[in-house]
Amino acid sequence: MILLFQMSTSAGWDGVLDGIINEEDCEQPNPEMGSPGDCGSSTVGIAFLLSYLVISFLIVINMYIAVILENYSQATEDVQEGLTDDDYDMYYEIWQQFDPDGTQYIRYDQLSEFLDVLEPPLQIHKPNKYKIVSMDIPICKGDLMFCVDILDALTKDFFARKGNPIEETGELAEVAPGRPDEVGYEP
């Protein structure tokens, strides 16, 4: 059994094949003494060995293919279900263009353009003023809007469009950095 497992990894099969086809080292059958001998049939041995190797390689290759296909289907399912890490990375990359100083805030008058520049699935095309109002994004002192508040509103909007509205964003609050204290919120 161990020998068959070793051969299924394509190691040592040539030594087994050499032993099967080597008829010099075996004891020939002797009918006078009643000895059947210990020589096997090299044709049957070769046929068994080749069929075993082919079948075991096919099984191993099919297992590799099954794992690859499973991972691929899982990845496509994740993309179809919702937002991916790539979507959030894209959000922050575009955010850097609107907030080059890294303050985590943009002005309210920049928001419409920012939402239009985003890529799907977070993008909200212009005209989007009514959509911005309906998203109820908090405005900080003056006319500044916080990065995570906008992302939170976009995430809620995305899931609402998918038919799965969310009320609580506890997971986002755990991951998102806290709001800097120097800029407060106004009612």
Q: What pLDDT score was predicted for residue 118?
A: 92
Predicted confidence (pLDDT) per residue in 57-105, tens digit: 888 888 889 999 998 888 777 666 678 888 899 999 999 999 999 999 9
> Do residue 106 and residue 164 come from a single domain?
yes
Domain with 69 in it: 2-81
Query: Which residues of the chain have a pLDDT value below 70?
Result: 23, 25-31, 33-40, 78-81, 164-165, 167-187
The string of DSSP letters for 14-51 reads HHHHHHHH--TTSPPPBTTTTB--S---HHHHHHHHHH
What CATH code is carried by the domain that includes residue 149? 1.10.238.10
Closest CA to 88 of 131, 1, 151, 42: 151
The string of DSSP letters for 98-118 reads H-TT--SEEEHHHHHHHHHHS
**69 occurs within a structural domain:** yes
Q: Are strands 144-146 and 105-107 parallel, antiparallel or unpaired?
A: antiparallel
> Do residue 13 and residue 55 come from a single domain?
yes
